[in-house]
Amino acid sequence: MKQVILIRADLKMSKGKIASQACHACLGAVEKSSSSDIRKWKTGGQKKVVLKVNGLSELDAIIKKARKEEIKLCIIADAGLTELEPGTVTAAALGPASEKKLDQVTGHLKLL
């Protein structure tokens, strides 16, 4: 079990902004997950991988694939209080889910 966090690299967010958006996505996806999946993920060390996507269209394509595979996910749209315009989609988290299932959807992406 692992969780994959996707960050939009095209937005050129600060390191602090990236960390904040990743945390929002992580927690949001966990809240949508089944207690069984959360338990397995926690027992396995709560593995997380942070990957970059080149833009909104790439993120949307991955989200579409994840939904087709019935992977729980959370999409983050920024409130617009600091660096970005309100409603800007910045990140998403997929899972926790099986590594195999997540790798089928995100295995082509590079680490952030």
| Tens of pLDDT, residues 60-73 | 999 999 999 999 99
pLDDT of residue 94: 99
pLDDT of residue 4: 99
| Domains identified in the chain, total number | 1
pLDDT of residue 27: 98
pLDDT of residue 93: 99
List the chain residues with pLDDT less than 70.
Answer: none
Provide the edge-to-edge strand list for the sheet that holds 2-8.
73-77, 89-97, 2-8, 48-53, 110-111
Instruction: Indicate whether this model's pTM tops 0.75.
Output: yes
Q: Which residue has the tokens 């939009």?
A: 8
Domain that holds residue 43: 2-111
pLDDT of residue 30: 98
Please report, for the domain that includes residue 26, its CATH number: 3.40.1490.10
